Amino acid sequence: QVQLVESGGGSVQAGGSLNLSCLASGPTYRRNCMAWFRQKAGKEREMVARINIHENTTYYPDSAKGRFTISQDNGKNTVYLQMSSLKPEDTATFYCAASVLWFCTDGMTFDYWGQGTQVTVSS
């Protein structure tokens, strides 16, 4: 069984930085691909970063490329999201997610989700 707990959300001014953490429990073979999503009010969730925890390979959509960085600790128990040059449109609830698939691919379904942490970027 996998549990994910996000932390690090808060309020920041435009152009600032914020670091999020996702503490994961459960075997690594149940969370081979992990990702960060954001959900703006009234909108669908969108993936902003993902990582194959075994290969340590990462992927970013254009909306996050160059501003967001996903990483993990050596024990593969915590996944981080480093955000810089934040914009008001980044305001959203950020979720950590994990998939049992051994690979990461675009449009994949995730099996486990955290409770979310709020990020607010003001101008």
CB atoms within 10 A of CB 60: 17
The SS3 of residue 58 is strand
| pLDDT value for 63 | 85
Which tokens sit at 91? Answer: 């305001």
> Residue 41: how many CB atoms within 10 A of its CB?
7
The angle formed by the CA atoms of residues 7, 84 and 55, to the nearest 5 degrees, is 70
pLDDT tens by residue, 41-89? 999 999 999 999 999 999 999 988 899 999 999 999 999 999 999 999 9
